[in-house]
Structure 1
């Protein structure tokens, strides 16, 4: 029998470049996410949302904007995910920006120190407030999980375990190396991070995800998805609009999620950087996205 599935909302864009992602949990619920998951044979419990946070400029912390708010948001995620795991449920987290993954892994590693993270994202997310001037924490999440030099202290120190993650707990899929800063390239090489490219994920999604899953630890598995990995012309969903005519289609990504969520180690799927306003010209893409989640998280007799 399939485990219960707990839905956790993380309606925050505090660590983003601009508002938008905070609306994703509400919009996906309104479009029938829970009903579709229930129709797929899962018993779904809605654990509600963490704090609603809408991005605003933070001139007091220009290189780590809204860091205190981001810490509150990821701690709220950690608390809700931990409660669901304690009840032996699987979890779907809808963010929000990519710092949400830190809250997921704080909860998962507390119950299973050997947990692994499949990180599907166009970016390495290895920047720190010292390596880039832009100040948006949503492409700095893994840097803080790995406690890289120059990380913002409140976020790097937010959890009981520091560093929260070790390099061998990670495998990244869908990375566009052309989008990486020089710092990120240096850190990925120094740490020996395992990753696959956005081109490979687009052309061979099945082999790519199988290879990545085979390299992760034997403990519990979290899957993190930043929707900017998608070809924006096929699926205009992401806060970032740069991934045009490159990266996987939504159909290819759905194949990846289906394989990852069928893995016996799977416990948590987090969805981030989805800005519903991007789909205003093609609302069907939101329904297609929900259908992909429904298929990936369906109960298997």
Structure 2
């Protein structure tokens, strides 16, 4: 169905606060700490400004590195992740109290511990759309790897509080969302413990199988309706670039999973979430420019930026910045 004139305009009133989160200690491979740098170098701020958005770059979150950070309860680098997550939450809260939307540039997906916690301080009624190949809701005891980038939601969901030991570095954190507040889109690599958690607590989850069966339009509609039937709650969108097929995000996680979202499907998700007008925060995770060659890096950065733009008003059907009108011929303008 064609969009109305208002819907085809670029979203012009938004003030976007960009926040870099150069972090990689939620997993074992270096490189995601350079995600914010390559996305900025790719022109993300300028391209959002060209959409008519008011963009303020708030710099990078300070990252804490605890020298002796032994695993606890099978969770690696808990102090480093926990203390840095607090700084992320504090900075996200500050950004959101001065801007309309925060765009967090990660960083591995453990950064979502801090981004969601910080967002929830400002928007306690938020819902979470998790766009990812992975569910990232392992508890330390269900995780095979011990990497916290596969656990962020477990630390945030109230129903899982009794299943997660309070780790050193995480003393500040209290769960801030319910299982019913989460909807997954794009899952295709889910661990046994995660599958059990999803079913036990009734989390809305659409794998690539459902995307194939129903189509992306039906999946997005069902996901939004499941977490917010009345269409009133703020949306936290957490986007792991490996949700896209590896042919599009070649410099994402090193354990890429084939059969992911196409670029058209990813665009559709972003455009439909943008149309709600309720987006509170977007965090982008797992861009790793050290994976692959220069061609892989450029493709991943370009595809990621093109998706981000669509969360903030860039539409395939066309759009225009605020104040734009059809130019008159010079002779008419000077009469």
TM, length-normalised to structure 1 = 0.89
Counterpart of 2:18? 7
- Structure 2's unaligned 5+ residue stretches are 1-11, 315-320, 323-335
Counterpart of 2:45? 34
TM-align CA RMSD: 2.4
Tell me whether 274-283 or 259-268 shows the greater mean CA deviation: 274-283
Mapped contact 1:20–1:275 kept (Cα < 8 A): yes
Distance (Å, rounded) in 1 between the aligned partners of 2:272 and 2:137: 26
Tell me whether 165-174 or 273-282 shows the greater mean CA deviation: 273-282
Distance (Å, rounded) in 1 between the aligned partners of 2:206 and 2:311: 21
Counterpart of 1:219? 233
Q: How does 1:230-245 map to 2 (within 5 A)?
A: 230-244=244-258
1:72 and 2:90 matched: no
Mapped contact 2:241–2:304 kept (Cα < 8 A): no
What do residues 186-211 of structure 1 show as CA deviations (whole Å, max 9, x unaligned)?
Answer: 11111011110123346722221122
What do residues 244-271 of structure 1 show as CA deviations (whole Å, max 9, x unaligned)?
Answer: 2x01123321221121133221110000
Secondary structure of the residue aligned to 1:5 is strand
- C-alpha change, 1:200 and 1:156, in structure 2 (3 Å) is farther
Mapped contact 2:66–2:80 kept (Cα < 8 A): no
1:181 Cα deviation (Å)? 2.3
Mapped contact 1:202–1:247 kept (Cα < 8 A): no
Structure number with bigger Rg: 2
Mapped contact 1:82–1:108 kept (Cα < 8 A): yes
1:185 and 2:195 matched: yes
What do residues 57-109 of structure 1 show as CA deviations (whole Å, max 9, x unaligned)?
Answer: 95554821111111122222212221122124211001112222222222222
1:116 and 2:131 matched: no
Counterpart of 1:198? 208
Counterpart of 1:262? 275
Distance (Å, rounded) in 1 between the aligned partners of 2:203 and 2:209: 18
1:19 Cα deviation (Å)? 0.8
- Structure 1's unaligned 5+ residue stretches are none
Counterpart of 1:164? 176
- C-alpha change, 1:224 and 1:213, in structure 2 (3 Å) is same
What do residues 32-59 of structure 1 show as CA deviations (whole Å, max 9, x unaligned)?
Answer: 1111111111111011111246899955
Tell me whether 119-128 or 280-289 shows the greater mean CA deviation: 280-289
